[in-house]
């Protein structure tokens, strides 16, 4: 068994909250090349609109692929954060203040984390 193989999963969510599995593909170490292939397959299957918001774990390959394949996703992450801030600030002021204080660094890391290599 090859311990460098992994399962790459893409789940889409529309503006009504409906979720749909868009891709379940085997990849190699969650590499940028593997993720670019998955995102390209989605485009070839008809998904022609760039993702407004991408979420994932700390896998650097995913974030690098997203920023190359959907370069506008970065700006939309800031817009999404603004949509989070408004409804939650009154109910959770300390939590929102904590996240807002480091918003630029947090969003920059989530969209394009620094390259740290594999352990």
Give the whole-angstrom CA distance, residue 15 versus residue 57: 22
Q: Tell me, what's the pLDDT at 112?
A: 60
Average pLDDT over residues 10-25: 88
pLDDT at 87 over 90: no
Span 56-81, pLDDT tens digits? 766 778 888 888 898 877 656 677 78
Closest CA to 79 of 46, 43, 103, 109: 103
Please report the beta strands in the chain, taking only residues with DSSP state E, as ranges in sequence order: 5-13, 19-28
* Phi then psi dihedrals of residue 56, to 5 deg: -165, 180
Tally Cβ neighbours within 10 Å of residue 46.
Answer: 6
Q: Tell me, what's the pLDDT at 56?
A: 73
Q: Tell me, what's the pLDDT at 16?
A: 83
Span 32-62, pLDDT tens digits? 999 999 999 999 999 878 877 777 766 778 8
């Amino acid at each position: 068994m090859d311990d460098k193989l992994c399962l790459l999963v893409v789940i889409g969510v529309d503006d009504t909250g409906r979720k749909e599995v868009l891709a379940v593909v085997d990849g190699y170490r969650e590499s940028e090349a593997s993720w670019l292939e998955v995102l390209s397959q989605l485009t070839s299957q008809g998904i022609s609109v760039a993702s407004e918001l991408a979420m994932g774990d700390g896998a650097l390959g995913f974030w690098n692929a997203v920023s190359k394949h959907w370069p506008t996703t970065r700006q939309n992450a800031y817009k999404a954060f603004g949509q989070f801030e408004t409804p939650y600030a009154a109910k959770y002021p300390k939590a929102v203040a904590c996240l807002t204080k480091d918003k630029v660094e947090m969003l920059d890391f989530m969209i394009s984390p620094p390259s740290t290599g594999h352990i």
